[in-house]
């Protein structure tokens, strides 16, 4: 069996896909959505075509090592997003070739269902927030949600601002009750000192984690925050490969790692990161804020790592008209995938509706006047 063809599809701002077809007719799908850099990831896949065409698609580890180690610049978001998407497609092919879900090729399952959390929004209209919570918790049965640190933060904030924000988080706890986990994403927007102050104030509401309380580039600073609070610190959505996570683990900067399988290196690389984390008694809550193919790949890894905690899930990741059958959340969990490969079928009609735009990530980090936010 050889790789005969590689195609790419841009379906919407959260979903760019790669399809690998073998000379036996088996198709494998992966996701190469790179937030804010769709064209770059597309070009990287095109560049890799020359190597992959004609190769045995089952030699996944060999191909990964060749692409990663054979490049003068190892890693980075563009190359690794392209490589991660291709690797996903190869595991999809391998699972279909042997007639099993891809997690059986990674050691087999350690659980029969996968806990997920949904996003409930950040502050704003309280009626809309309550309606969103009612939908997620009462209608859909979610057991965990995530919210974020609202607004822009300066080097120091007044006690009034801190008390107001903290009060809103405690109000959220009162709304959902103690039976629902709450994750709080700082997005690295506050200073380390401010993060420590906020964390101390938030300990009484028992968050599941605080995410990126400091920017991920400096694991020493993250470790300082982690040692100053009893709340588990989470990080990793913007780190790449096991080498990117090494310092975080060695410096004990986080209790929860959040590798993004579509950027960090793919299924097997994420499993290797999980194995490293297991030695430090650290859990994984994989990041996935793009499309349903990336989410499907995450489920395969979630199934087989013993130190899995919870999986991020955005609404569009459940199918969004791209999959023939949406993933179903029941009582806060998704049942273990049973179909071969990554466990889904693509809705062919979705491939006929290309999207030409890009992901407007700049709006996350700039003020209304276009200037860069302090943090």
pLDDT, position 260: 97
Burial of 239 (0-12, 13-18, 19+ CB in 10 A): buried
Choose one of 40, 71, 102: the last residue of a domain. Answer: 102
- What rounded mean pLDDT belongs to the chain? 91
Encode pLDDT of 312-323 as tens digits: 999 888 998 899
Least confident of 34-43, 117-126, 157-166, 185-194: 117-126
- Give a yes or no: residue 56 inside a domain: yes
297, part of any domain = yes
328 and 204 fall within a common domain? yes
Residue 155 belongs to domain with CATH number: 3.20.20.120
Distance CA 25, CA 189 (A): 48
126 and 31 in a common domain: no
Asked if pLDDT for residue 354 goes beyond 60, the answer is: yes
Three-class SS state of 273: helix
Phi and psi torsions of 247, nearest 5°: -65, -40
Q: Which domain holds residue 325?
A: 104-338
Average pLDDT on 318-333 reads 92
Give the Cα separation of 317 and 287 in Å (integer). Answer: 12
The pTM (predicted TM-score) of the whole model is 0.92
Is residue 281, in this structure, part of any structural domain at all? yes
The token pair that represents 122 in the structure block = 């950040």
Together in a domain, 114 and 92: no
**309 lies in a domain?**
yes
Pick the last residue of a domain from 321, 338, 355: 338
Quickly state the pLDDT bin for 13 (edges 50, 70, 90).
Answer: low
Place of tokens 């070739």: 97
Domain end, chosen from 67, 102, 137, is at 102
| Domains in the chain, number | 2
| 8 A C-beta contact, residue 6 and residue 19 | yes
> Do 196 and 331 reside in the same domain of the chain?
yes
Residue 21 and residue 162 share a domain: no
Residues 151, 187: one domain? yes
The verdict on 308 and 281 lying in the same domain is yes
Residue 363 lies in a domain: no
CATH code (residue 49): 3.30.390.10
Within a domain: 356: no
In terms of domains, do 258 and 331 share one? yes
Residue 362 within a domain: no
The residues, ordered by sequence, that sit 6+ positions from 141 with a Cβ below 8 Å of its Cβ are 329, 330, 331, 332
Q: Does one domain contain both 234 and 113?
A: yes
Same domain (yes/no): 32, 111: no
Do 175 and 85 fall within a single domain? Answer: no
**Residue-wise pLDDT tens digits, 26-80:** 999 999 999 889 999 999 999 999 999 999 999 999 999 999 998 888 888 999 9
Flag whether 351 is in a domain: no
Active site residues: 187, 287
Query: Do residues 138 and 78 both lie within one domain?
Result: no
């Amino acid at each position: 069996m050889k790789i005969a063809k590689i195609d790419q599809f841009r379906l919407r701002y959260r979903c760019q896909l790669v399809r690998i077809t073998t000379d036996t007719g088996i198709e494998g799908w992966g996701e190469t959505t790179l937030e804010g850099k769709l064209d770059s990831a597309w070009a990287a896949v095109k560049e890799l075509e020359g190597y992959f065409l004609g190769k045995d698609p089952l030699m996944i580890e060999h191909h990964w090592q060749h692409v990663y180690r054979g490049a003068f610049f190892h890693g980075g978001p563009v190359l690794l997003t392209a490589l991660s998407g291709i690797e996903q497609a190869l595991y999809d092919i391998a699972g279909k070739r042997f007639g099993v879900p891809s997690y059986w090729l990674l050691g087999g399952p350690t659980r029969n269902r996968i806990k997920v959390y949904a996003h409930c929004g950040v502050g704003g209209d309280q009626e809309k927030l309550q309606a969103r919570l009612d939908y997620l918790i009462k209608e859909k049965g979610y057991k965990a949600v995530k919210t974020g640190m609202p607004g822009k933060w300066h080097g120091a904030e007044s006690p009034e601002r801190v008390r107001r924000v903290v009060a809103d988080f405690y109000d959220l706890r009162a709304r959902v009750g103690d039976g629902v986990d709450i994750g709080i994403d700082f997005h690295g927007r506050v200073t380390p000192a401010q993060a420590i102050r906020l964390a101390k104030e938030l300990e009484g509401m028992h968050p599941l984690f605080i995410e990126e309380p400091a920017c991920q580039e400096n694991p020493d600073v993250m470790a300082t925050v982690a040692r100053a609070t009893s709340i588990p610190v989470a990080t990793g959505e913007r780190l790449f490969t096991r080498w990117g996570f090494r310092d975080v683990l060695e410096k004990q900067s986080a209790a929860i790692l959040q590798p993004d399988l579509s950027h960090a290196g793919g299924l097997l690389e994420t499993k290797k990161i999980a194995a490293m984390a297991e030695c430090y008694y650290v859990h994984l809550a994989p990041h996935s804020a793009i499309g349903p193919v990336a989410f499907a790949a995450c489920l395969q890894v979630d199934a087989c790592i013993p130190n899995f905690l919870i999986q991020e899930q955005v609404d569009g990741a459940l199918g969004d008209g791209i999959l023939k059958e949406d993933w179903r959340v029941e009582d806060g969990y998704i049942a273990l995938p049973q179909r071969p490969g990554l466990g889904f079928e693509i809705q062919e009609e979705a491939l006929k509706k290309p999207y030409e735009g890009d992901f407007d990530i700049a709006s996350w980090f700039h003020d209304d006047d276009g200037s860069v936010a302090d943090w």
